Structure 1
Amino acid sequence: MVRDDLYISVPSFFRCPISLDVMKSPVSLCTGVTYDRSSIQRWLDNGNNTCPATMQILQTKDFVPNRTLQSLIQIWSDSLPHPLHSPDSLLSKDQVLLAISHLQTPPRLDSLAKIARFALDSEENRDFLARTECFVPLLVGLLDNVNGGVEFLEQVVTALDLVVGKMEDGERLKNLMLKRQGEGQKQSVLDSLLLVLQQGSQGAKAASARVLKSVAVDAESKLLIAEKEGLVSELLNLIAPEKDPGLMESCLSCLVAISTPKRSKMKLVRVGAVKVLSRLLWAPSLSVWATEMVLKAVETVSSTKEGRAEICEEAACVAAIVKKVLKVSSVATEHAVTTLWSVCYLFRDEKAQEAVTKANGLTKILLLMQSNCSPHVRQMSADLLKIFRVNSKSSLSSYHTQTTHIMPF
């Protein structure tokens, strides 16, 4: 005998006239016709100015939620022998609170996925989740367990990434995420974030890096992250030129954020950051923002003796920095010139000076001084020219640093 309840008859007015699917968020146009929000928004975004059903020209493209119809669809769905819960259905705020309560007992993946879709839908929804008192602590508690499996941790990290940026109290977030690090506990939040960086999907890896950056609010938290065994190395692995640009930029931003304490800088140097950053600077398709961040990271490690030694030993790194002095951005110029000033002028490294000369750096510095650069950059450029003026091998032996009218060559 065939079961009748396997066939569901959907009332026609519950279906979107465009997609023909049951509407998740019904909205009405000025013509009175109701559509699913995502379908009609796509229609309007494509440049159309008519009502798809009536072809009337729209006097306004505004639409209003049809709450009555949404309630009817929900009542109908709940009355079915097997209620419709499409994987793409968007929860109401009350349903989200219920889904959050379900996170305390397994299975949790379905609830996490629905909460993540709710958060992705709007800024308002992310604000709502961030204000929900128990939500972030509950996610952190779930994250503090590497035994949940990578797929589960990916969902937790994704949900956490969507709301941590909305938290106004960064200190509270840090305490939640890192409070167990000093207690010798074998498993921790950092273990889980590292596992996602190593084995997760590209999107989850990027989310993990962004969460780490959000936690790095002071020297203590930055050191805890930087000194987690394997974490900095994994972030460096993920900023290779062949990696996804979005993932690369998230990991690069995290590295820069945690690198300000001296011990963090030393860790970066020890795990080979200079070679990695040098390769990135030579990458042909590096974005302006990524270039600025790489140069910022190089400038940061150049403030340590070990970092300067690595930069000076890596001739390709110095040449790459010289290459970025002009034609990227004012921010990139300042980071590049500061690094060159540090290794060539402040610490008088002969290898670095030679590398700058070979890379035609003097010409670029001269051109930079004729440009509309900041007073700070201009002064560092003048200092650099003084160094090369006293070098008998330099063509600038008779150059005076106050001269600014120089023909480019």
Structure 2
Amino acid sequence: MGRDDLCVTIPSFFRCPISLDVMKSPVSLCTGVTYDRSSIQRWLDDGNNTCPATMQVLQSKEFVPNLTLQRLIQIWTDSVRHRIESADSPAAKSVPARDQVIDAIRDLESKSENRLFSLAGILSFAEESKENREFLANMEGLVPLLVGFLDNVDGGITRSVEFLEKVVKALELVLNKAKDDETLKHWIVKSEQGNCLASLLLVLQRGSTDSKIASVKILKFAAADVESKIRIAGKEGIIHELLKMTTSGKDAMLIENGLSCLVAISTPKGNKAKLIHLGAVKQLSELLSQSKWSVSITENALKLLETASTTKEGRLQICEDPNCVASILQKVLKVSNVATEYAVTILWSVCYLFRDQKAQEAVTKANGLTKILLLMQSNCSPGVRQMCADLLKIFRVNSKSCLSCYHTKTTHIMPF
């Protein structure tokens, strides 16, 4: 991709004077000034009776569609889209050289209107190879510049989702190559303007799958200590969006990264409460009820349920949902040793430690006792075997059970 391919200028009269974004539905007020319909409507709905650009009192709040300008914007947009698609096609796509990337970084620093295309070139360069990512990470000032774009949402181009998507994708690619990880984590979570988390949330809400995954990886990277975890979860909407990413109908990579990030930030007590309050237990239960997911997804879902089981409200939701207990039992065997340990720990917590009758009944109904017996005869860890033995003590008290004469210290299943 040549230097000229990275640049485009947005005509100033295509921008809404309020949002500064390219107008989608331009309309003109009686003052003759044109705005994007959604922006001026919000202005008027807020009770204002003046023209935002001229501050003249409006004789009428009616506005008229500017069809000529709308057609011009559509022609320009189609032209730009075609240019980008042509540049991104396998036949036409090329990676900029290092000197071109250095020029593109200077463009970013100068805050020119070419920033979107300069950033696209940098991203293309970073995606090409590990060596390129290391080169970018060692470029003095680039990483702080990218973080600064997330933090300083100035209402211009850096406000657009398209620009923020490219920022988070480029930043994620060089994160682990950056020299000072701790400073970088501090910048992201405790940024000067406080907008980094807001920008990452905006990408989670409106970005593509790839950019959402990049945003999640940045959040996970920044969740380095308890304070950071609390700040991330404290940003209204982040946990909600992460949970939305983990619904069973989503892309598997999206689910896996969403779960992984939730695991990373879920340890503080307040964060656990938010997860449970937002319906994580039911959602994780539905996810586990399906057998199509990878080992990693299953392990992370069980880990989150284990975290939920350490709270009273979490145990209550697990126990009141027999499908949840049954889904956990499905994963006791034949997934992985990690999944087994998480699943057994949850069952031990609700059935043995807190003696919940509903959970015990759900285990019995789902043929859980047989699975517990089989697990004890497997090559499980001493901790898992002890929890299984504790669970069997609970169910042996039932005289009708075939386990009434089973001794937990035996090494072979002889229930009769």
Partner residue, 1:216: 223
Cα distance change of structure 1 residues 91 and 311 upon mapping to structure 2, 3 Å threshold: same
2:174 pairs with 1:163: yes
CA distance in structure 2 between the partners assigned to 1:374 and 1:93 by the alignment: 52
Aligned: 1:244 with 2:259: no
Identity across aligned pairs (percent)? 63
2:280 to 266, 269, 273: 273
Q: Is the 8 A contact 1:145 1:192 kept in 2?
A: no
Summarize the alignment of residues 11-160 of structure 1 with structure 2, pairs less than 5 Å apart. Answer: 88-104=93-109, 105-107=111-113, 108-146=115-153, 147=155, 148-160=159-171
Partner letter of residue 368 of structure 1?
Answer: L
Could you say what secondary structure the match of 1:103 adopts? Answer: helix
1:247-291 residue CA offsets vs partner (Å, 9 max, x unmatched): 111111111111111111111011110011001001231111111
Q: 1:334 to 1:118 in 2, by over 3 A?
A: same
> How far apart in 2 are the matches of 1:190 and 1:394?
54
Shift of 1:93: 2.6
Q: Evaluate the alpha carbon distance shift between residue 86 and residue 274 of structure 1 in structure 2; reply closer, same or farther with a 3 A threshold.
A: closer
Question: Partner of 1:396: helix, strand, or coil?
Answer: helix
**2:189 counterpart letter in structure 1:** L
- Residue 391 in structure 1 maps to residue 398 in structure 2: yes
Structure 1 outlier segments of 4+, above 6 Å:
none
| TM value normalised by structure 2 | 0.74
| Distance in 2 separating the partners of 1:264 and 1:390 | 38
Given the superposition, is the C-alpha separation of residues 170 and 262 from structure 1 closer, same or farther in structure 2, using an over 3 Å criterion? farther
Q: Report the CA distance between 1:91 and its aligned residue.
A: 2.3
Q: TM-score, normalised by structure 1?
A: 0.75
- The higher relative CO (CA closer than 8 Å, separation ≥ 6) is in 2
Contact conserved, 1:363 with 1:408, CA < 8 A, in 2?
no
Deviation digits for residues 3-55 of structure 1 (CA, Å, limit 9, x no counterpart): xxxxxxxxxxxxxxxxxxxxxxxxxxxxxxxxxxxxxxxxxxxxxxxxxxxxx
Given residue 336 of structure 1, which amino acid in structure 2 is its aligned partner?
A: A
Cα pair distance change 1:407/1:390, threshold 3 Å: closer
Which residue does 2:51 correspond to in 1? none
SS in 2 for 1:95: helix
Which region of structure 1 is more displaced relative to structure 2, 214-223 or 119-128?
Answer: 119-128
**Residue pair 1:170, 1:217 contacting (<8 A) in 2 also:** no
**Structure 2 counterpart of 1:203, one-letter code:** D
Q: Contact 1:334 / 1:377 at 8 angstroms: preserved in 2? A: yes
Letter in 2 for 1:342: S
CA–CA distance in 1 between the matches of 2:316 and 2:399? 24
Shift of 1:335: 0.8
Structure 2 distance, partners of 1:387, 1:292, is: 26
Larger deviation, residues 360-369 vs 277-286 = 277-286
Correspondences of 1:221-300 after superposition (within 5 Å): 221-300=228-307
Give, as a single letter, the amino acid of the residue that structure 1 aligns with 2:175.
V
Match of 1:13 in 2: none
Give the root-mean-square deviation of aligned CA atoms.
Answer: 1.9
- What one-letter code is carried by the residue in structure 2 that aligns with 1:178? V
2:370 aligned with 1:359, yes or no?
no
Check the 8 A contact 2:247/2:283 in 1, yes or no: yes
Consecutive unaligned residues in structure 2, runs of 5 or more: 1-85
Which among 326, 337, 342 is matched to residue 335 of structure 1? 342
Question: Who is 1:173 aligned against?
Answer: 184
Letter matched to residue 152 of structure 1 = F
Deviations 1:44-87 (A, max 9, x none): xxxxxxxxxxxxxxxxxxxxxxxxxxxxxxxxxxxxxxxxx966
Distance 2:211 2:191 in 1: 23
Q: Distance in 2 between matches of 1:169 and 1:307?
A: 38
**In structure 1, C-alpha distance between the alignment counterparts of 2:363 and 2:135, rounded to whole Å:** 53
Residues 139 and 396 from structure 1, CA distance in 2 versus in 1: closer, same or farther, beyond 3 angstroms?
A: same
Structure 1 residue runs of 5 or longer lacking an equivalent are: 1-84
